Amino acid sequence: MEVEKGFYKNQPRMVLFEITTRCNLACSYCTARQLVKEPKDLEIDKIRELRPALEAFEYIAFCGLGEALIHKNFYEILEIFKDKKIVIVTNGSVPIDYERLVRYDNIDAITFSVDGATEDSMKRVCSRYKFDVLLKNLEEGFKYGVNCAFNTTITEDTYKELSGIQDMIVKYGVKCFKLGLPLGKERWVSDHSKEIHDALYKIRDNMKELSVIYEDPFEVKCCCDNAPIAVVSKNGNLYPCCDYFCGRPLVGNLYHNSFMNIWNKASYEGFREGKFCSRCKQYHNVKEIADQEMA
Ligand SMILES: C[S@@+](CC[C@H](N)C(=O)[O-])C[C@H]1O[C@@H](n2cnc3c(N)ncnc32)[C@H](O)[C@@H]1O
Ligand code: SF4
Ligand code: SF4
């Protein structure tokens, strides 16, 4: 996915909606956990109240600084968004009730964050990980015909697991494999870029052969359909970009304004003009490493 000139001016079609900051795990590389002081669910009534302000988005992606599937009203929340396309990003370690999940026939995709191919390797990322639950979720996802993707963060522990993860992709009919680099570990990435690139070449070819959509870690991850992905945090705050570390501004609050009103305000202007993207540290850091090795 290339950043096209002027894509910043396109209105976002997808929003990452943080319905909880609670999590059942504590993954070793997770920056999200460090940012949360008092983990909480956003009450379902507050989610109902926010619903009209989210009308402009075609896709609602349940993803934030926690694990959406442990929200105590998760399946009732799906009803509130039954006319939207739903994306779920999950650690896979929470049993999924597929019968209730597919009730409104609007699940666009489930992205499972899979950083290891065995119980032991997943437990190295988080000792509380339930690998049997992940496997059952994947098996049932396949049976129910739900579009499943893997998101793997390449770290010291996980990048040696890539071959086993590819076997899981084949076994469970996973449609898309997204690789990411660990934020906050740029030094490690830089020091190991040769090994990482060597592993990537092979994966790219394998995925092509298997007709699995492949997202390279050096690709820009912050856009969907040539528009940036917005974020709504648990308190209704709206951010124009899904990258927590890019210095994105707060552009409004959806309890006080609709998305379209905020989009047309001066506070969004700087972002729409590309001011933040053109100097984005995340994007440029990554690009430098990619150019250096892939040229
Ligand atoms: C913050 S989690 C929230 C959703 C859910 N709890 C999960 O793990 O899938 C969303 C994604 O961020 C990734 N992530 C967490 N910390 C990261 C980091 N330091 N660098 C890159 N990705 C990270 C996770 O692997 C996961 O795929
Ligand atoms: S499951 Fe997701 S939010 Fe929870 S610690 Fe792991 S990466 Fe972070
Ligand atoms: S600021 Fe950076 S991470 Fe955010 S949308 Fe722009 S390029 Fe993407």
Q: Which residue has the higher pLDDT, 224 or 5?
A: 224
In this predicted model, what pLDDT tens digit does every residue of 61-87 receive, in sequence order? 999 999 999 999 999 999 999 999 999
Q: Please, which pLDDT band fits residue 288 given cuts at 50, 70 and 90?
A: very low
Q: Evaluate: CB of 33 within 6 angstroms of ligand 2.
A: yes
Q: Evaluate: CB of 63 within 6 angstroms of ligand 1.
A: yes
Share of the chain above pLDDT 70, in %: 92
Mutation to probe ligand 2, out of 16, 22, 24, 25 (largest number of atoms < 8 A from CB): 25
This model's pTM is above 0.85: yes
- Tell me the range of 145-154, 213-222, 257-266 where mean pLDDT is highest: 145-154
| 3-state per-residue secondary structure call for the chain | CCCCCCHHHCCCCEEEECCECCCCCCCCCCHHHHHCCCCCECCHHHHHHHHHHHCCCCEEEECCCCCHHHCCCHHHHHHHCCCCEEEEEECCCCCCCHHHHCCCCCEEEEEEECCCCCHHHHHHHCCCCCHHHHHHHHHHHHHCCCCEEEEEECCCCCHHHHHHHHHHHHHCCCCEEEEECCCCCHHHHHHCHHHHHHHHHHHHHHHHHHCCEEECCCCCCCEECCEECEEECCCCEEECCCCCCCCCCCCEECCCCCHHHHHCCHHHHHHHCCHHHHCCHHHHHHHHHHHHHHC
Residue nearest to atom 17 of ligand 1 (CA): 30
Ligand 3 pocket list (CB less than 6 A): 220, 222, 228, 241, 243, 246, 248, 276-277, 280, 282-283
